[in-house]
Structure 1
Amino acid sequence: MLESIFAYAIIAGARAITGLRSLWLGTTPKDAQRIYYANHSSHGDFVLLWASLPAQLRRRTRPVAGADYWGKGGLRGFVINRVFNGVLIERQRSESGGNPLEPVEQALAAGDSLILFPEGTRNLDEEVKLLPFKSGIYHLSKAHPEVELVPVWLANLNRVMPKGRALPLPLLCTLSFGAPLAVQEGEAKEAFIERARDALLALAPAEGH
């Protein structure tokens, strides 16, 4: 019950502050297993993307988040674990090795959809639209070819909560959903990552808009 109240409050707050607008340009919202991958400029990115989905899709869509930030317990831990049912990953490899994507693999095997940020960290440089992608998106698509990869460009969210500001600024945010893609037979890792990155960049608004 408490989780539902928090979820409603988060969705209502996100929509009120950002005037959330979703543009389904290359696909439509549908009940299919997907990985929504997006640009990453703030800790609120996955909140806005999750809130933009229809209710029936939100129930099976889980954000992938860094355990170093979200796994510290308290309110933050409650929100990521109980409200969003997030998938926490270790962004820093330990000396013992292991597969950092194992929690993500388990979520996909269970039939969940995911929200993923292939840059791996927030891009705080306004002069650079998109940081280089980590290779995880390639390995996940190759291992799960039945899962659609949907690029989503989040516009203006970094201006809603600029660095150093305690309270958000009301500002229209637009999410643009592109056409699904997947690793093609025989496609090299570097070629796929470039194609996935280009698909996301193609959704970014033109300069001056």
Structure 2
Amino acid sequence: MSMFLLGLIRLLTGAQARWQGCPPKAEQRIYFANHQSHVDLVLMWAALPEELRSITRPIAAKDYWTATPFKKWITTAVFNAIYVDRVKTGEQDPLEPLIEALTSGDSIILFPEGTRGNHEEPQNFKSGLYNLAQKFPQVVLVPAWINNVQRVMPKGEVVPVPILCSVTFGAPLVLGEGEDRGSFLARARQAVMDLRQT
């Protein structure tokens, strides 16, 4: 099923990967990218080489991706996604599932905006990326820019439209010693936006 989906995704989007700032490498990473469509996690997954797909888990909004049995099955069985609650319930840290995945050695795909945007520029990044960078300094932080995916599956639409898409991966970021949250998140957001020009 994963090979069928990979072929379908590449037919619809092209799913071109451009490794401009770092090579594809089997090391533990946090890929972080702009977020404009529910297709983002699918396109990011498809852009990775096979050896990286097997060790990389995308973050998926639990309320959306478990809304139907098919969505739940595909995100569980094919993408091995990490579900996150967008609505806070109780005392559980929303980062807990991501922390568990990183602790077990997985790489993850993260969308630091937290929710989909409607504009060319990403919304301000939320603090999750900063908190994970602090907790896992050994994990490589790789920015990425997803191009054109919002035209494949515009917000509110259910039928994808074939459009050539790409994912550009940039140079890794490192959290500076003593760097505050605001400065780091602004720098991370800028690193993602800078990839639009490449």
What's the TM-score bracket when you normalise by the shorter of the two chains? over 0.9
* Structure 2, unaligned runs of 5 or more: none
| Equivalent in the alignment of 2:186 | 194
Mean Cα deviation higher: 65-74 or 41-50:
65-74
Moved >6 Å (runs of 4+): none
Which of the residues 155, 163, 170 maps onto 1:171?
163
TM-score normalised to structure 2 length: 0.95
Q: Please, which of 2, 12, 18 is the counterpart of residue 7 of structure 2?
A: 12
Do the aligned partners of 1:37 and 1:151 also contact (CA within 8 Å) in 2? yes
Of the candidates 107, 111, 115, which is equivalent to residue 113 of structure 1?
107
State the partner residue of 1:49: 44
Q: Determine what percentage of the aligned residue pairs are the same residue.
A: 45
Write the distance in 2 (CA, Å) between the matches of 1:141 and 1:178. 17
C-alpha distance in 2, partners of 1:23/1:112?
Answer: 22
- Write the letter of the residue equivalent to 2:153: M
- Choose the corresponding residue for 2:18, options 14, 23, 40: 23
Aligned residues, how many? 198
Measure how far apart 1:91 and its partner are. 1.4
Q: How many angstroms apart in 2 are the aligned matches of 1:37 and 1:174?
A: 15
1:188 CA displacement: 0.5
State the Cα distance separating 1:168 from its structure 2 match: 2.1
Paired AA for residue 11 in structure 1: L
Structure 1: segments with no counterpart, 5+ residues: none
For residues 187 and 159 of structure 2, what CA distance do their matches in structure 1 show?
37
* Residue 54 of structure 2, aligned match among 37, 59, 79: 59
Say what the alpha-carbon RMSD is for the aligned residues: 1.4
Q: Which residue in the other structure is 2:146 paired with?
A: 154
Helix, strand or coil at the partner of 2:196: coil
User: Retained in 1: the 8 A contact 2:38–2:153?
Assistant: no
Contact 1:42 1:161 in 2 (8 A): yes
Query: 2 CA distance for matches of 1:164 and 1:87?
Result: 23
What residue in structure 2 maps to residue 100 of structure 1?
A: 94
